[in-house]
Amino acid sequence: MTGTTPLLARTLTLPNGARLGNRLAKAAMSECLGDLELAPTEGHVRLYRRWARSGAGLLITGNIMVERTAIGEVGNVVVDDERDMGLLRRWASAGKEHGAHVWAQLNHPGRQIPVTLNARPVAPSEVPVANTAGLFRSPRELTHGEVETLVTKFATTAGILVRAGFTGIEIHAAHGYLISQFLSPATNRRTDAWGGDRDRRRRFLIEIVRAVRAEIGEVVPLAVKLNSADFQRGGFDQFESAAVVSALADEGIDLLEISGGTYESTAFMGLPAEPVKASSEEREAYFLDFAQRIRQQVSLPLLLTGGFRTTTGIADAIGSDEIDVAGLARPLALEPDLPARMLDGTSTASTVRHRTLGIRRLDGASDLLWHTTQLWRMADGKDPAPGRHPLITMAHYFSRLAPYTLHRIVRGTRSTSRDGYVVRTRGPAEH
């Protein structure tokens, strides 16, 4: 045991009375393990059983999408009815085997859907994703009625997942996905009830928070993942984010997770989107400056994800009362028992480092795919393989996708699910 261990091992009681067993969380990574019908699989059960032994007090799932026609990457799970309740229950149960909270992260990709999955995505406004080499098509603007329907879908999905045994819900309002698109003046150019000024731009998020809370009740923790900024010119900045934080505090959420970036920047890929202040770099966390700022304006419990690698860095942030919980994502793709080792003092730092090809335009994606294949190994009952070269793991990634790509070609590039919705097939990423 080290001097930092007691800080990491402290319990945390959330505003609704729920208690986290310690201050370490497995942050969300998109597992990309869903099947052709967008359902969870045995891989989810095996992976979360492994993470249940991690020592983390909180496990947050990767993207669970709320609409069957809108998945952000191949392998996403969609929950819009109770057809997969059996596997959802086993997934939640596996993660809880050693006492951790398991929260389901709800999302909708909006315009951030690859063209191979949806040639006409939806968004607040018809603003295409820039600088992505044609990977995404220009979106269609949602109607007022469609926006209201999506609010209901978030609530429906939340209710199903809580009934399946997930102990909390996190609403993903970061990384340039649909809710984030509504928040940003760069992507929300509406002039109706859902845009035009910052109050109306955040209405979609606030209505979702209210609908989900009404569905799951006060006893179940409700969290929101929010960008500190999207790092885009004319976009969602720290001033607007701080105003959203105050509004969320007024709504009575139980925890706020701070992140940053979009598909048009690098922050959400685990790489800083803009120069990191020397103080933040020294203290590891990318978004610590923003956490310090909002700590002065609200009393919400804060989870900070992005950059933490050492017990000292985590303990400094918690001990100085800047954050309450530290999120670890990619370290747990390679070292699934890292929190337990940090808590008992046998490890003081993660050995995970960015794995790159040395090609700037490909490095973010190759690092992402490298970590995704490590999740697949654990989902297959194997140990991570940290020594594998990124080129080998990329070959593994694409070879695993090949059968699903062929399936799309044979079916005329489109596959129809059990209920007739148009869906596509399977593959990965992180969030």
Residue 79 lies in a domain: yes
Q: Does residue 430 belong to any structural domain of this protein?
A: no
CATH number of the domain at 23, please. Answer: 3.20.20.70
Does residue 392 lie in a domain region?
A: yes
Retrieve residue 423's tokens: 């869906």
Residue with tokens 């009934």: 163
Q: How much is the pTM?
A: 0.90
Residue 306: pLDDT band with limits 50, 70, 90:
confident
For residue 19, what is the enclosing H or E element?
strand 19-20
User: Does the residue 215 lie in any domain?
Assistant: yes
The pLDDT mean for the chain works out to 88
Reported as a single tens digit per residue, the pLDDT across 243-283 is: 999 999 999 999 999 998 777 655 444 444 444 444 444 55
Q: Greater confidence, 400 or 334? A: 334
Output the six-digit token pair for 199.
Answer: 């109050």
Q: How many structural domains does the chain have?
A: 1
Neighbours of 89 (CB within 10 A): 16
Average pLDDT on 130-158 reads 94
- Kindly state whether residue 431 falls inside one of the protein's structural domains: no
Instruction: Note the pLDDT tens digit of each residue in 256-267.
Output: 999 987 776 554
The residue-averaged pLDDT of 291-315 equals 95
> Is the pLDDT assigned to residue 419 strictly greater than 50?
no
Any domain includes 308 = yes
Question: Could you give the CA distance from residue 33 to residue 167 in angstroms, rounded to a whole number?
Answer: 21
Q: How confident is the model at residue 398 (pLDDT cuts 50, 70, 90)?
A: confident
- Measured over the CA atoms of residue 212, residue 216, residue 217 and residue 219, the dihedral's sign is negative
pLDDT in tens, 307-365: 899 999 999 999 999 999 999 999 999 999 999 999 999 999 998 776 666 666 666 67
Query: Per residue in 91-102, pLDDT tens?
Result: 999 999 999 999
Domain with 83 in it: 5-423
Beta carbons of 285 and 317 less than 8 angstroms apart:
yes
Domain-embedded: residue 429: no
- pLDDT for 267 equals 47
Q: Note the pLDDT of residue 172.
A: 99
Q: Which of 2-16, 238-252, 283-297 has the highest mean pLDDT?
A: 238-252
Q: What does the pLDDT average to over 202-224?
A: 99
Classify strands 58-65 and 101-107 as parallel, antiparallel or unpaired: parallel
Residue 103 has pLDDT above 70, yes or no: yes
DSSP class of residue 376? H
Residues facing residue 225 across a β-bridge: 172, 257
428 domain-assigned: no
